[in-house]
Every structure is written in structure tokens, then in C-alpha cells.
Amino acid sequence: MRKVGAAGLLALLLAGAALAAPAAPVHWPSVKSAVARDPKIEARIESILKRMSVEEKVGQVVQPDIAFVTPEDVRKYKFGSILAGGNSAPHDDNKAPAVDWLKQADDFWKASQSADWKGEKIPLIYGIDAVHGHANIVGATIFPQNIGLGATRDPELIKRIGEVTAKEMVATGFDWDFSPTLAVVRDDRWGRIYEGFSEDPSIVRSYAGKMVEGLQGHAGTKDFLGAGHVIATAKHFVGDGGTAGGKDQGDNPSSPAQLRDIHGAGYPPAIQAGVQSVMASFSSVRGEKVHGDKELLNGALKQDMHFDGLVVGDWNAHGQVPGCSNTSCAASINAGLDMFMAPDSWKGLYENTLKQVQSGEIPMSRLDDAVRRILRVKLRAHMFDKGAPSTRPFAGQFQLLGSPEHRAVARQAVRESLVLLKNARQLLPLSPKTNVLVAGDGADNIAKQSGGWTITWQGTGLTNADFPHAQSIWGGINEAVTAAGGKAVLSADGSYSAKPDVAIVVFGEDPYAEFVGDRPRSLEFSPADKKDLELLRKLKAAGIPVVSVFLSGRPMWVNPEINASDAFVAAFLPGSEGGGISDVIFRKADGRVNSDFHGKLSYSWPKRADQTPLNVGDKNYDPLFAFGYGLKYGQKGDLPQLSEERPKGGGLPEGVLFGRGAVPQGWSMAFEPASGGQIKGVDRRAQEDSRQLTWSGTGPATMAIRANPPLDLSRETTGQLSLVVDYRVDSPPTAPVTLSGVPITEALRSAPAGAWHTLTVPLGCFEKAGEDMKNLKVPFAISTAGQLKLTISDVRVLSATVAQDQCGAP
Ligand code: BGC
Ligand code: BGC
């Protein structure tokens, strides 16, 4: 451990070495968990452990993902746990019904019980990311993402949400939730900002224990990990919300004291409430990957804070420790990790870990300690007595998923989470007895109002039909207005025949998760086409009062949109209960306020698109709306005209290989050989925003975009993202054409010439075609020996729904 005495500390300070030398270590608080050590459990652990073979012990510390493992494998390797990742589901169907999830849980459980154990049969535990309700499963109650919950400032509500989530999980056979996320997010560019409750440690501190109690039940009572409860996970330990530039899986440069006091604020209360697992972070702290950081995992967490549950890894995150790979990492176990999350890498990892134990590279005492912790959690959770998942209390009660009672809790959460940023001339609350136009692409779009980690990992590829127990924002408005005798009309593009009394425009960010949501360049809300802003301006110009409902996973620079609105509501990502919005923005039929605004910003709102990091307590703190801001009815809500000056520079958004007529700086786009064809600038939406590519047909030629430095798209590839190309065929190919090795001749031949189309190719296809996705020098290459005239306007990497096994026919 990096601990120095007072004298050493003084010497460091005197030497002025605080910046350069290893930062002075600190002690973390000594925490007393409400879950006391139970001598009976401890004795049972020892007796089980004694009868385990070394193979069985290694099996316990490996957690495969259901997309890559079968019950037969579980029987053979006796894994301690399995997980269902964001895109993993029974028979590979993200929309599989609840009954299939439960059956699958039973199949895996039975496999673990029918294995040939040397001693006692150890049941596995099945984990999933129920991070805003059990939202991976069709029909579940979907709560607001944590950013919205942060705005409610309501710890008791957080506990209720935990209880509801746990019950719905148990109904479908799960034991273990990878939640709550206790990130204290300090840079709004981070793609996971919405998973964090706040930029301020005090909010995270006040929620952490409550969510744990809701999920696990009250420590010290019979309720604890009893019927209808699941194991909770405090994640991602530690510093995930403080990486430089908000880069996902990046490096947190905080001093040890900042790490503890800001980023670590949620852990002491979570441990005190009895949280049974902690997930290590993908990120690093001052250059060292947490998955290999003994001082943090063993020192801070286990020694200082007395955490005696299990430390689980993140998705192949051990593979990022220097000297490790996805299939080999003694360093992680030796640093204090107790269970590897090894989704697809479990086989090699199992074999190598076994060898490392046999050679002594992993001391047997460390392996035993890891297994003890896993067994302790399983015994505390009564896993040895619970029987098959389908036989437990609440199991199979699928009517619990999205039950009226559960949805009422979610709807309350929505009401409490909304933050009113502008209310000129007190336009809100609206009378429900008027003619209301409801516009914007978020109005009737439950996926968009729910965000990432919803049915699919990225929350994309969904329609309202995938949400049987949910209401869109339009649905809620229509219900309220119709009941009061008014008239609501849905028109996504905002067109109308009879002029309405008021327009509600629902718009914002499209769903994303993890690194896909990183916005390193700016906080500007800027879909390339600006259609939302145009719509707001058009309505305003027509003399219609405009209410904006903004859906987003983060505070964003929306000054032009705020200027173009009379009232502006930050709704974040509210989830399944769109009705919570109409509850607040409409009066009762008798004219009284129905439900006042309650939410207060849990993240500071920027004044400029490049104003990040921006956090309460900063020197020269100068936000547009400060932390804690949120209007109530009756308060003056007019705003002066806001500056619409965009930041200089800007550049292409992340993931764009070609757009707005350019490739990223330092890259190139050319024919190889140069004589093989010609590139000409042409217009689609703006001047020279596209390129017409003409192959002369004089021999094989490739039009290549070369990245500099090479791109690493390996995570995007496992994450099932796609390359998406907007193209127009001006004259069809005379010979076969490939896109980076993938045949696209048919797509080009069948596309009616002269019209714009979108080609979506899963990144996995390029990997199959032999591309090195980790070191991609040419991310885009169209080749043919024949003639072809093709125009492209946009090339980007996104999550798009296509069958991942369809790589195009020649
Ligand atoms: C995420 C974790 C999540 C895990 C399992 C990882 O990529 O970082 O938050 O629990 O996947 O889905
Ligand atoms: C999984 C997620 C995981 C991510 C990490 C996805 O395929 O479904 O759970 O967090 O990969 O790359």
C-alpha cells in the first residue's frame, strides 16, 4: 500500500513533489457494515471450501455472458456466476418474453446443480444491468435514468425504486443487479453521464445506501436478501466519472483525497447499508488501471472500508491492465479482484487462471479469499436454499412487470425529476381545455424517452410496440387534454391544418450507452440538420406559444432552442411513464395547479458549448443555470435573449469518418492508384458537403479513407455497431464492388439510381473479411475493377439495427 507516515508526507510536500511524484496516499473511512459477520456462515464457508477442488475454485471466479456460454459449459466448468450483458438475451432475442428469461435462468441454475461437484453443490448467481428498472426485459417498469432521479432530491423514492426493480428481477429469475452506479460525474462529455445521479458528491452520498436497501432489503432484518430482493452492486469503483475529457474508460487524474472525497463519496454509505458487491471500474486512476490497482481494490475498499463482499470486474476490463489480455490476468486477482467478468473470454481465462494458481503466480491464499467472498455473498443471499429460480417467491409473476402499482412509482419519479428552466409570462401550467399541437420526434417515441440500457444495450432498434406497459409523452398529453374536453393533435413534423393555441415540442438526444455517448468535442445539441430548432422558430413565427420538452442524458448547450421557446423543460430520460409530464405541465380541469415542478438540477447547465468541466464549487463558477436551479409555478420564469454564438473550431462529431464535406483532420481520402478514378465535390444539403466518386474502369481501383493514427474499433465491433453510409448511385457498377472486403454489388445495383440510400454494414462483417479492427488504417475502402459513379454524403459508425450475421451477398 502506498501509505506514508506524517514525516514522509511532510517531506513530500517540502520537496514540492505533490505534482510530479506519486501523490500522497490517504486513508479511506473506516466503515461498519450493517451486515454483521455471521459465525455460522463463516464456518459453513470453510467447510465448503475445504472440499473444493482447485478447478472448482477457479470456476467460481469466472463470469461468462449468456451470449457466449451454454448450460453444458456451466455444468463442465462450474462457474460462480453468469451475466446477461446489454445485448444478450435468451436465444439471442432482445425482445424475448419474460417466460423465456425465467426458463433460461432455470436452465443455467439446473446445470450448476447437476455438475459433478467434489463436495457441496454451489449454485451460480445470475446478474444483469437493471440500471433504471429491469429495463432489459420487454414490459418492465422503466424508471427515469439516474440523472433525472438526481433532480428529485428524494432518497426515499430511490429506495422504492430499488424495491420495485428487485421484485421485477426476481419475477424473471435474476439474483444480482449491477446497480447502483455511484459515479460522481464531473465532465458532461462522458457518454455515461446519465447513469450518474449528480456532479455533486452529497447527492450520490444520500442515495447510495437507499438504492442498496431497496434492492437488497434492510440489513439486519429478515427482509435482507429475502423474498423479492437481489444482490446490489456499487459501481464503478472508483473514479469512473472523473476521467480527463469525460473519456469513457479513460484516466482520472484526481489526487487521492479528491478521489476519496468526490468520486468515492457513495461507497461508505453503500457499504454501510450492506452492499454485497462492488464492480471495479474500466478506467484508470493517475495512470494505473483500477483492475490492477491493489491499493484501491485491496487497500481502500477491503482494508480501509472493511468491505467483505465480492469485487466483480467489468466487461473484459482486466484485459486492459498492462501485461494482461482478455484471457489472462493474474495481476487483477492479485490486486484484489474476486470475480472476472469474462463474457466471451471465459474459456481461455479459466485455463490460464488455473495454470497461474498451479504455478503459484496467483497464491492459493488469494484464490481462497476470493472464493470465500463469493460464497459469503451466496450464503447471505440464501442461494443454497432458494431452489430453482422459477420456484422462488414472486418468480413467474409476470404481471408484476409494469404493474399499475410499479408504474405509479415511476410516474411519481418522472413528476419529481422534471426541471423547469424557462417559463416566460408564466405560460405553464397550460389549460387542458385548449387545442394543443404535440410535435417533435420525441413526442411519441418511448425508446427516445428511455435512453440507453433499455431492451438493447444502446436503447436503439425499438418501436413503441416493444413497450407494452408504457406511455409516450404524447400518450399522456392526449389523455389529460381529452379528459378535460380539449383537443390534442400529434404531428411529429409540426405541420397543422387548424392553428393550435399552443405547441408542445418534444425533442432531444437519441439513445446511446457507454463510449458511444462520449461527446469529446462539444456540448452543443446539434443534430446536423437542425430540424428541431427550425420547427421551434417556425411555430414561434406563426405566433403560437411554444413549450419545449427536452430529452437528454446530459445538460447541453441549447441556447438557440431556449430562445425559440416560451417555456423550456429539461425532462432528461424519463422512461416508461410519459404521463408524468402531462401531470405537471397541465392544470387540473378546474384551473388549479395539478402538480408543481419539483426537480432541481443535479448537474450545472452550461452557458457555452465548450464550457466543461463545469461543477458547483468551481472557482469562477459561471453556469447558465446553476446546480440546484429549477423554477416553480408562480415564480418569474422569463429569460433574456441568450447568446447564440457557437464555439470556434468544432470539427466533426465523434464516430464520423466523412461528413460536412470533410474527413477528420489529418486523414486522407483518395483513389489508389490515383489514376483509378476521380473525386469531385458536390452538394446534397450544403455546398460541397458530398463527394462524387467515379471509377474509370481501367483496372482494379480503391477509393480509400485513411485514418491517422489508425483507429481502434474493437469495442465498437463487439458492441455490434455498424458502418453507416449515405450514398447515391449515379451510374451502376459494371463489375463486383466491395466495401473493405464486404461485397456490396447487390446493394448498389438494386438501389434506384439518382436517389439517396443508406447502407448499413455491421462492423463484425469487416472483421470476418479479415480487417484488424484494433488497428484499422483504412476504415473505409470501396474497390472495383469496373466502372461506377457513386456519391457519398456521410460515413459514420453508429449503433443501427441490422442482422449482425448478414454481411452481404456477392
Ligand atoms: C459496463 C458495466 C456493465 C457491464 C455488464 C460494462 O460494459 O461498463 O456497467 O455492468 O458492461 O453489462
Ligand atoms: C454488452 C454490454 C457491454 C458492452 C461492452 C455489449 O455488447 O451487451 O453489456 O457493456 O458490450 O462493450
Ligand that lies nearest to the alpha carbon of residue 459, given by its number in the listed order: 2
Contact 389, 126 (CB under 8 A): yes
Contact 144, 572 (CB under 8 A): yes
Query: Is the beta carbon of 315 within 6 A of some atom in ligand 2?
Result: yes
Ligand 1: which atom is nearest the Cα of residue 236? 9
Query: Which set of grid coordinates corresponds to residue 625?
Result: 443555470
Residue 317 and residue 45: Cα distance in Å, rounded?
28
Residue 211 and residue 589: Cα distance in Å, rounded?
36
Ligand 2: which atom is nearest the Cα of residue 720? 7
Ligand that lies nearest to the alpha carbon of residue 458, given by its number in the listed order: 2
Identify which of 63, 129, 243 to mutate to test ligand 1's pocket (most ligand atoms within 8 A of the CB): 129
Q: Is the peptide bond before 520 cis (omega within 30 degrees of 0)?
A: no
Residue 343 and residue 326: Cα distance in Å, rounded?
10
Span from the CA of 314 to the centroid of ligand 2 (angstroms) = 10
With a cut of 70, which residues of the chain have pLDDT below it? 1-23, 528, 647-654, 800-805, 808-810
Ligand 2: which atom is nearest the Cα of residue 129? 9
Place of cell 466518386: 693
Contact 538, 531 (CB under 8 A): no
3-state SS assignment for residue 403: coil
Chain mean position to CA 173:
23
Span from the CA of 456 to the centroid of ligand 2 (angstroms) = 10
Span from the CA of 719 to the centroid of ligand 2 (angstroms) = 6
Looking at residue 23, what is its pLDDT?
65
Ligand 2: which atom is nearest the Cα of residue 314? 10
Span from the CA of 722 to the centroid of ligand 2 (angstroms) = 15
Query: Which set of grid coordinates corresponds to residue 341?
Result: 467478468
Residues whose beta carbon lies within 6 Å of some atom of ligand 1: 83, 85-86, 129, 178, 235, 282, 314-315, 514
- Which is the catalytic residue, given 314, 510, 561, 577? 314
Residue 191 and residue 283: Cα distance in Å, rounded?
13
Looking at residue 6, what is its pLDDT?
44
Query: Is the beta carbon of 136 within 6 A of some atom in ligand 2?
Result: no
Ligand that lies nearest to the alpha carbon of residue 313, given by its number in the listed order: 1
Q: Is the peptide bond before 709 cis (omega within 30 degrees of 0)?
A: yes
Query: Which set of grid coordinates corresponds to residue 661?
Result: 464535406
Nearest residue (CA) to ligand 1, atom 7 = 315
Nearest residue (CA) to ligand 2, atom 12 = 719
Q: What is the pairing mode between strands 284-285 and 251-252?
A: parallel
Nearest residue (CA) to ligand 2, atom 7 = 719
Residue 274 and residue 217: Cα distance in Å, rounded?
9
Query: Is the beta carbon of 715 within 6 A of some atom in ligand 2?
Result: yes
Looking at residue 715, what is its pLDDT?
80
Ligand 1: which atom is nearest the Cα of residue 457? 12
Query: Which set of grid coordinates corresponds to residue 20?
Result: 510530479
Secondary structure E strands in 552-672 = 567-570, 656-658, 668-672
Is residue 537 exposed (0-12), middle (13-18) or buried (19+ Cβ within 10 Å)? middle
Residue 515 and residue 519: Cα distance in Å, rounded?
9
pLDDT in tens, 320-378: 999 999 999 999 999 999 999 999 999 999 999 999 999 999 999 999 999 999 999 99
Ligand that lies nearest to the alpha carbon of residue 457, given by its number in the listed order: 2
Q: Does residue 509 have an active-site annotation?
A: no
Angle at 96 between CA 94 and CA 100, to 5 degrees: 130
Nearest residue (CA) to ligand 1, atom 12 = 85
Nearest residue (CA) to ligand 1, atom 8 = 314
DSSP assignment of 689-713 equals -EEEEEEE-SS-EEEEEEPSSPB--
Q: Does residue 514 have an active-site annotation?
A: yes
Query: Is the beta carbon of 717 within 6 A of some atom in ligand 2?
Result: no
- Which is the catalytic residue, given 304, 514, 532, 794? 514
Query: Which set of grid coordinates corresponds to residue 657?
Result: 469518418
Ligand that lies nearest to the alpha carbon of residue 182, given by its number in the listed order: 1
Residue 415 and residue 555: Cα distance in Å, rounded?
18
Span from the CA of 520 to the centroid of ligand 1 (angstroms) = 21
Span from the CA of 513 to the centroid of ligand 1 (angstroms) = 10
Contact 488, 592 (CB under 8 A): no
Chain mean position to CA 138:
18
3-state SS assignment for residue 357: helix
Looking at residue 14, what is its pLDDT?
44
Query: Is the beta carbon of 236 within 6 A of some atom in ligand 2?
Result: no
Tell me how crowded residue 348 is: count the other CB atoms within 10 A of its CB: 14
Could you tell me how many residues make up the chain?
810
